[in-house]
Amino acid sequence: MLITSCGNSIDIAKSLARKLHAKYSPLEISSFPDGDIYLKFNKIPKKETVVIVHSFQPHPDMSLFDIVWAAETAKDLGAKKVILAVPYLAYMRQDKRFNPGEAISSKIMAKLLNKSIDKIITVDPHLHRYKSLKDIFTIPAVKLTANDVMADYIKRKIKNPVIIGPDWESYQWAESIAKSIKAPSTVLEKTRFSSHRVSVKMINPIPLKGKNVVIVDDIISTGNTIAEAAKKARKQGAQSITAICVHGLFAGDALDRLKKSGVSKVVSTNTIKHKTNGIDVTSLFVKELGKRK
């Protein structure tokens, strides 16, 4: 097995290789003077399984392009199989045509990957209107979840936590984590007016006064969802508020917004490299890829 990366998720790729006792060799990717892509394997993966470990952030558009280039090159060089281990899979939120004429990006992304790779493994993809990855992928597609590693973090670091899911979609993470660490939990009802304006309502109130509140979501993008939830929790007297997400996109001034709303600490997993990373998802990939050794 040869483990490689197009540039993102290098730490996960190296650690994965160490833990699986596999070779690690990064790709050489640059541009010709005219802007055309240049890609080179430094180890020729003849008759080997190639695992491309690469998150779609930063630069989701280039990432998709680089992955397709890498996978096609691997096959051209004689690779037996190409597996994409993608900690953060982008484009999943554009899962329908919200306005006439729009691209359904998730379908296009999947179509390109279906043609070039043999299997995809990802962590907590944003499945909203799709029931499963099978709705868009024709290749084997494995959905891993960061629930256990997030639950473990909360158990180790936060005393007597109360878990909040800021909307019904996020409640699948919040509820499962709360159950596994035996903490009380509740969900808020979110109304989204635009990508920057949301409001949340507590529909099943639980006591938050003096509690260490943990707000759990799959994605923090602009931070508006968590910020609104944090304001509610502060109003109800929460002692501390920790925001935990699987995928920290932190678009624009998201971190400032979270701080101003009363969030005491922000923690993300390393599916996207960021200074808030505090939870490692490598073990999830080790378990999945280790199965086939």
Which residues are annotated as catalytic? Answer: 190
Helix (H) or strand (E) holding 61: helix 60-76
Q: Is 167 in the site for ligand R5P (CB under 6 A)?
A: yes
Shortest approach of ligand R5P to residue 228 CB, angstroms? Answer: 8
Q: How far is CA 167 from CA 3, 174, 225, in A?
A: 37, 10, 8
Q: Which is nearer to ligand R5P, 224 or 282 (by Cβ)?
A: 224
> How far apart (Å, rounded) are the C-alpha atoms in residues 166 and 243?
10
> How far apart (Å, rounded) are the C-alpha atoms in residues 239 and 248?
24
Binding-site member from 118, 135, 148, 169 for ligand R5P (CB under 6 A): 169
> How far apart (Å, rounded) are the C-alpha atoms in residues 154 and 213?
11
For residue 58, say if its preceding peptide bond is cis, omega within 30 degrees of 0. Answer: yes
Shortest approach of ligand R5P to residue 62 CB, angstroms? Answer: 22
Structure tokens of 58?
């930063």
Interface pattern 235-264 for ligand R5P (x via CB under 6 A) = ------------------------------
Using CB under 6 A as the binding criterion, the count of chain residues that bind ligand R5P stands at 13
The DSSP 8-state label assigned to residue 20 in this structure reads: H
Instruction: Order across the sheet with 161-165: list the strands.
Output: 198-202, 185-192, 161-165, 212-220, 240-248, 265-269, 277-279
Shortest approach of ligand R5P to residue 227 CB, angstroms? Answer: 8
Q: Which is nearer to ligand R5P, 66 or 217 (by Cβ)?
A: 217
Q: Which is nearer to ligand R5P, 243 or 289 (by Cβ)?
A: 243
Site for ligand R5P in 173-232 (CB under 6 A): 198, 217-225
> Quick one: which segment of 131-139, 163-171, 267-275, 284-292 binds ligand R5P (CB under 6 A)?
163-171
Site for ligand R5P in 107-126 (CB under 6 A): none
Identify the CA nearest to 244 among candidates 159, 168, 191, 173: 173
Which residues in this chain contact ligand R5P in the complex, by CB under 6 A? 167, 169-170, 198, 217-225
